[in-house]
Homo-oligomer: A and B are copies of this chain.
Amino acid sequence: MPTVDVHTHMYPPALMRILRSRDKVPYVKTFPDQKEAGDRLVILPAEEASTGTSRGRPIGPEYYEVKEKIAFMDLHAIDISVVSLANPWLDWLPASEAASTAKVVNDDVEAMCEAHPGRLYHFGTLPLSASAEDVVAEVKRLKGLKFCRGIVMGTSGLRSGLDDAQLDPIWKAIEEAELLVFLHPHYGLPGEAYGARSGDYGHVLALAMGFPLETTIAVTRMLLSGVFDRFRGLNVLLAHSGGTLPFLAGRIESCIAHDSHMKETGALDGRRDVWDVLKKNIYLDAVIYSKVGLRAAIDASGEDRLMFGTDHPFFPPLEGGGKEWLSVTSNDRAVKEAMSGDTQGAKDIMGGNAVRILRLDG
């Protein structure tokens, strides 16, 4: 049974060329006044505002060179990776360039997979700032790419979130194409959520809490606006084991049941509940770094719906920690602990489920 990584990112060369040519978010640049810091990747407005020696974040070949991805896979005995663009995907493109750029970027990733047959598949990216027709056309085109198995998507949709009814033609096209949506956070939460001293804690609060909550809010908004009632065949893979959805699902149901506004509008009468959606439409990656969290994810969605991931190339090895990536080994260990050892169930989560769900053997 192969080991499959379904949560692993790249900025492919075609995208790197665009990022290097830009000077507003997102972009890649070596700042003249801090050449020693090398290339920096700036993807969030808050990073652009900061000055000094820590503008943006370091970016090296592990972000854009496929041989680095393969070397990482070999080091950790990962047989297959399903690569997706790293955030912020392509919704920042000018409308006029979006469709053509998405094609170039998606074809670049496809070619990368083609050069490593059996090792690499990918999730494509949509030109969400283009017209709905162009977006739908790219969905259909992706369906025809040999190594494409889904679509990576952020939470912004057409600028106002995934509960926007204007997304319906796009959901419909994705459902018909039987492509999996890999839902991934980027914006986190408004900075004031973290309090006056959050700068003392580096990126910990934004990464550990903002990211998972962004995902949880986004998928709950899809639920509350009836997306999963209108598109019963839509399948969504949630990053970071669902953010916090497995843990909060009971509270979400309780809050819906007791909400007087929801009762008055009747908007959710006859709706499918979150548990039903978790077991029929939602898949979860196993990127939660603990047995406790992973067990909850499995209990909520089913051990046949969890898929191992690494979040490479983020969370690189610690200084003095050897060559292995702690972020990989801790998720690998969580799978074994949650599934009582290297059992068939553990093997399914490490790869078998992904092979079946994403048709990686065809």
Contact = CB atoms under 8 A, between A and B. Distances in A.
A190 interface: yes
Nearest to A191: B190
A216 B205 CA distance: 10
Contact of A220 (B189, B209, B248, B254): B209
A111 to B, nearest CB: 32
Interface of A: 160-161, 163-164, 189-190, 192-197, 200-205, 207-209, 212-213, 216-217, 220-221, 224-225, 240, 244, 246-263, 265, 267, 288-293, 295-296, 299-300, 315-316, 318-319, 326-327, 330, 334
Given A247-B247, A258-B327, A290-B250, A205 B220 contact: yes
B195 A217 contact: yes
Contacts of A194: 217, 221
A195 B160 contact: yes
B255 A208 contact: yes
Nearest to A263: B319
Contact of A255 (B204, B216, B260): B204
Given A200-B224, A257-B318, A330 B250 contact: yes
A254 B315 contact: yes
Contacts of A251: 207-208, 212, 240, 288-290, 293
Contacts of A163: 195, 197
A197 B225 contact: yes
Contact of A193 (B217, B255, B267, B326): B217
A255 B207 contact: yes
A222 to B, nearest CB: 11
11 contacts: A194-B217, A195-B221, A202-B261, A204-B259, A209-B248, A209-B252, A212-B248, A213-B213, A247-B296, A254-B326, A257-B326
Given A209-B248, A296-B296, A262 B195 contact: no
